[in-house]
Structure 1
Amino acid sequence: MTDASTRQLLDRFLEAVVPMPSLVCVWAHGSLAGGDYQPGRSDLDLIAVVERRSAPAQEARLVEVHENLTVTHPLAAKLHCSYVAADEWDDLTGTHLTWAHEELLHRPVTPVTRRELHDFGKVLHGPPPAELLPPVTDRQLADFVAADLAHFWRPALDHPERWLRDIWVDLGLLTLARASVTLRTGALITKAEALDVLTGLSAPSDVVNDIRQRRYGSPEPASEQWQVRRAELTRAFLVPAIERVLTGGSP
């Protein structure tokens, strides 16, 4: 389900990119496809498949499309889209032109995203993921999730200043919960479901409630004292929790 403003943004985006000669299809993944989308809070995560890797002129056109949307639509800053050539799917680590955070980047389409597309991807234009996207094995998915915890999130805990920010607290805890389920069962869960998992894992209840309010409620601005305390609680929970997940135990 999407609101009128989100539908309008998606319609305008499709009106701009579908006429491009090389475009094959556009898919949504993440919360937009998985049923946990929160207008104005969630990102709009899209994948566009093109016939061939974008040439400089095409890149300039894509920048123009996204910049124009940012000017004319209030939600456009949250619209992220990777442009993947149809013959480049076999390389799990290959990077693809991506518009995110209001700039062009190059980044991979992760095994998690690929599994989301197969399990519940939403077709906005063209053929479905099953016709073009190679399947992701359970081992590929598990290896990626474990490596993400070990090589990104665990080292990040050695930088206390990061954890004063909402985004680190939210993603750190939600990623841990989602990873624990994926590594145990092979399933992907939503952020809403991850909050319930965190409660069952004895994560700090005040921090879990804080995340829930910012994602689904009407939160008050956080005081500096609470930001410091929240960071301490989050890091104290995540350090041993990540270690237990990576060694096959329960957080």
Structure 2
Amino acid sequence: MQTDALLDRFLADLAPLAPVAVWAHGSLAGGDYQEGRSDLDLIAVLPSITPRTVWRLAKLHARLRAEPLSRQLHCTYLTPAADPGLRHLTWAHEELFKRPVSPVTRRELHAFGRVLDGKPPAELLAPVSDRELAEFVIRDQRDYWRPALDNAALWTRDVWVDLGLLTFARATVTLREGRLISKREALELLPRLGAPVEVVEDIRRRRYGDPGPAVENRAALARGYLGPAIDELVAAYD
């Protein structure tokens, strides 16, 4: 399996930096992973992160580019005492930048995180309360996804339609029930939430089967649905 080979190579190359822990979250940990289609979402806890560490990590990821699926590998680097809500060094989309570890990611790690090396998340990460999780989900829908609907050009890309609809369904369940669901569960739920069925089926085919021809006007259908749907969700829980 190419995924296992990539993870083995990553862990071996990371070993000289003496990681305290390496965890997987997202679909790789949650049981909905699709090789070649899903991202490999990782968190690595290192003893310290110095300028030399950053240089070594950049070299590590550059070497990994020769491996199949390397574009899907995303990893955020923390130190044991770090506040996860701050911005942390991250490799994703083939570059290094900084971003926080969201409450959703932290809840995933506590609920079903996969330990690839070292200590479990419970020993290094504070738990996420239901209130903190809900507040983050509301902000994400209200301040990120809702304004993004005004940028029509973004939605011509499949990833925006896919993630926009899936994230909305997952946010709905988190706010209603306080739990996280997989992308597969989100696809099952979306038609019951009133999402355009042809777009949902298009996402399902591309994630789990043969893509086939694109649905005409999928961007307009997704945006037309998500605008009022997000407004209604936020108004109910904000």
TM-score (norm 1): 0.92
Match of 1:128 in 2: 120
The Cα offsets for residues 49-97 of structure 1, whole Å up to 9 and x where unpaired, read as 1122x111111111111111112x11011100000011113x52x0100
Match of 1:9 in 2: 6
Give the 5 Å matches for 1:109-124.
109-124=101-116
Give the 5 Å matches for 1:100-249.
100-222=92-214, 226=216, 229-248=217-236
Q: State the alpha-carbon separation in 1 of the partners of residues 17 and 149 from structure 2.
A: 43
Q: State the alpha-carbon separation in 1 of the partners of residues 47 and 128 from structure 2.
A: 22
SS of 2:65's partner is helix
The Cα offsets for residues 107-135 of structure 1, whole Å up to 9 and x where unpaired, read as 00000000000000000000100111100
Q: State the alpha-carbon separation in 2 of the partners of residues 27 and 178 from structure 1.
A: 22
Question: In the TM superposition, what is the alpha-carbon distance from 1:6 to its structure 2 partner?
Answer: 0.4
The Cα offsets for residues 22-50 of structure 1, whole Å up to 9 and x where unpaired, read as x2010000000000000000000000011
Q: Percent same amino acid among aligned pairs?
A: 58
The Cα offsets for residues 152-173 of structure 1, whole Å up to 9 and x where unpaired, read as 0000111112111101100000
Q: What is the letter of the counterpart of residue 46 of structure 1?
A: L
Question: In the TM superposition, what is the alpha-carbon distance from 1:19 to its structure 2 partner?
Answer: 2.5
Q: State the alpha-carbon separation in 1 of the partners of residues 224 and 95 from structure 2.
A: 34
TM-score (norm 2): 0.97
Q: State the alpha-carbon separation in 2 of the partners of residues 232 and 75 from structure 1.
A: 31
Task: Select 1:78's aligned residue among 61, 66, 72.
Answer: 72
Unaligned runs of 5+ in 2: none
Match of 1:63 in 2: 58
Q: State the alpha-carbon separation in 1 of the partners of residues 220 and 71 from structure 2.
A: 31
Q: State the alpha-carbon separation in 1 of the partners of residues 213 and 47 from structure 2.
A: 46
Alignment length (residue pairs): 237
Deviant stretches of 4+, over 6 Å: none
